Structure 1
Amino acid sequence: MNKQKILYLHVGYWLLVAVQVLLVSLGTGVLGTQIDWKLFFTIVMPVKLLQIACSAGFFYLNYLYLIPRFLKKKNIFQYLIVLVIAILLFTPLYYYLEQLFYPSIGWKTYELDLNFWSALMITLSANFLHIFLGILLSYLMDWRTMRMEKEIAEKEQLQTELAFLKSQVNPHFLFNTINDIYALTQQQNEQAPEALLKLSELLRYMLRESDDPFVLLTKELEYLENVIELQKIGQKGFSFVDFTIIGHPDELKIAPLILINFIENAFKHGIFTDKETPIRIRIELKQSTFHFIMTNRINGYKKDKTGGIGLVNVKRRLALIYPAKHQLLITNDPLNFTVDLKIDLS
């Protein structure tokens, strides 16, 4: 709730109080008599509105100063003393207005004649609700502020974690790709310039597009195709990938670099040099559902003996970005490694 809405609530509350007080005073002042509208609008209403203004002043003195200055600092005894002093100061102005104006017009709100102590009790009883509301509202606003600060802190922490996870994607993939290109240059392979050009395109995508929380699915798929082509160049053409897309991406968007870990993992740990057992990647698009299926034959001789952060990384990112909108099933049997991922991109 923004400050403007809070202001409207305060104004609305005091308007309701004014309507209630005027209706009660009107009914009390005309018991057994005819309504004298002239006296009501010229004397009774101004006096009652002035009393409501006094009540509002007493409320905001308590709400904005006394409660924060004393009560919230655990000075309860001091708070009670200054609260009583405030009531004593408001009593003459609040209720003696009736003794100054109402008797002269025959309008009597109370059956008893007001003196200072009876007026004090009436003032206290009339403002008891405002004292309670001031305390309640003050602590509710503190709770609201703490909750907003907590949400902001959690959001910033989430963004920081996502940025950290995304930053881990780039170096992890680039390290292996640069090694492959370095090997091509050492061999003076004519594909080295093409590989370097592909790498520059991938870097451009990583630096420009992936800064956004979501990118067009068409661009992410194009990025994956470039990754696969770069891997093929690194393997001197001895790599086989069956990459199929069914459906139309249209204007769908997806979190960037969310699939690269799966593909890079397949090239690191899978067998892809036999055209009979290629890496199979199938993407199905049905309305807003993105279905990614990838299968590769497991290589018993792992290229990376130290393990990796890739799969842990992507699982964490999926949990943060699509907490209740994805299903991930990873099957690792003796022969094949399969990833089955569904994401609701709506």
Structure 2
Amino acid sequence: MTVSQIFFGRRAVRHGLVWLVVVVFYGLKAWQEPIPTGIMHSLESSAAWIAVLALVIYAHFWLLANLLERRRVALYLLATAGLLLAGGALHYFLKELVTASPVKFPGGLYGIGFRIGYLAGKAASNLLPALLLATTARYVRRGTVSHLQMQQLRALQLETELSLLKAQVNQHFLFNTLNNLYGLSLAAPDQMPEALLQLAGLMRYQLDSSRQSTVTVGTEAEYLANYIGLEKLRLRENTKVEFLTDLPHPDRPLAPLLLLPLVENCFKHAIDPSGKNTIRIQLTQTDTGLTLRTGNSIPAQFRPAPSGLGLPTLRARLAQFYPGNRHRLAVEATDTFYAANLQLVF
């Protein structure tokens, strides 16, 4: 558990640290008094003030939870005004006990009004700013915790979607590949060992990447090469596939299976049994980033299907692992060609 998690998650620790800062502040302020009696007098006054302040703040927290947050606004405002007056009165009486120099008020009804006005002024000038500060801190903390919880839930959702994506790839791709391997064993048995090694490498990578938060650029490129090699087993001679890589820094970390959706789309949408098909995949790397460019021809009879998990999950994972300007995904589609350009900044 991190320091921030302890601070935001444990109420006693959080409030204890804040009140410790308050006590130290008033203690240092009292220490600046010129004579020992002045120091003791200031310490006693500060202790009385801190006690009143704590009572008012925690009582106001109760009003927030039980009145304002239940939309009983009028009752909340009335109770808060009463709380401030009561806090001002309590502060006055405690200060009077400590200093032994009470404020003299006029008598009669005028004196009662003067007392109420005096206490209201003291409450407004002393307690109200502290109350506003404590309330702001309460809701800022609550907003921060909610934001952290939303991030955790979003990360969990993305991991779930990634697991679904892996399961989808495993089921459909493995089924098609096994059929292709069966055909290959009859038509070209000498190519079977290489194809089986590619399939083993692909399955091993998916198993290993599911246990890791990051892989390397080199292992991701090897995975794509195995995937493309196995996909080519089912293609006819009228389909041209190009896969080019330039990776001077293959050990750089990368989120697993981040590039697969764009490569997978090329083979889903580019196959025309009668016409010529073209698939181009280029993976290049610089000192500061990685770029994947994919492009494929689109058959005349192709009809786009509703989007699955691939691209939406990709965009969400890009926003999580490469937020803001650290990624750019551009897609261009015409009636005959589809191109995607993904740029990552390390």
What is the CA–CA distance in structure 1 between the aligned matches of 2:115 and 2:45, rounded to whole Å? 13
**Equivalent residue runs for 1:128-277 within 5 Å:** 128-174=124-170, 175-185=172-182, 189=186, 190=189, 195=195, 198-235=198-235, 240-271=240-271
- SS of the aligned residue for 2:248 comes to coil
CA distance change for structure 1 residues 21 and 305 in 2, over 3 Å: closer, same or farther? Answer: closer
Is 2:41 the partner of 1:47?
Answer: yes
- Unpaired runs of at least 5, structure 2: 68-74
- Return the alpha-carbon distance in structure 1 between the equivalents of residues 66 and 304 of structure 2: 60
| Identical columns (%) | 19
CA contact (8 A) 1:327 1:342 kept: yes
Q: Which moved more, 1:251-260 or 1:176-185?
A: 176-185
Deviation larger for 49-58 or 154-163? 154-163
CA change 1:58–1:260 in 2 (3 A) is same
Alignment of 1:1-346 (within 5 A): 2=7, 10-20=19-29, 40-41=35-36, 43-64=37-58, 66-70=59-63, 72-74=65-67, 75-76=75-76, 77-81=78-82, 84-85=85-86, 87-99=88-100, 128-174=124-170, 175-185=172-182, 189=186, 190=189, 195=195, 198-235=198-235, 240-271=240-271, 279-300=279-300, 302=302, 306=305, 309=308, 310-324=310-324, 325-344=326-345, 346=346
Measure, in 1, the Cα distance between the counterparts of 2:15 and 2:287: 42
TM-score after normalising by structure 2: 0.72
> C-alpha separation between the residues in 2 aligned to 1:208 and 1:196?
18
For 1:279, what is the secondary structure of its paired residue? Answer: strand
Task: Supply the distance in 1 between the matched residues of 2:306 and 2:197 (Cα, whole angstroms).
Answer: 29
Contact 2:177 2:230 in 1 (8 A): no
- Displacement, 1:279? 2.8
Q: Provide the aligned length of Structure 1 versus Structure 2.
A: 317
Deviation at residue 182 of structure 1 after TM alignment: 2.9
Structure exhibiting the larger radius of gyration computed from Cα positions = 1
Give the distance between the partners of 1:308 and 1:67, measured in 2 at CA: 51
- Structure 1 residue runs of 5 or longer lacking an equivalent are 27-36, 100-108
Supply the AA of the counterpart residue of 1:55: W
1:225-269 deviation line (CA, Å, top 9, x unaligned): 111222234459996533222241244222221221222222222
What amino acid maps onto 2:175 in structure 1? I
AA of the residue aligned to 2:265 = N
Q: Is contact 2:85–2:123 with CA below 8 Å preserved after alignment?
A: no
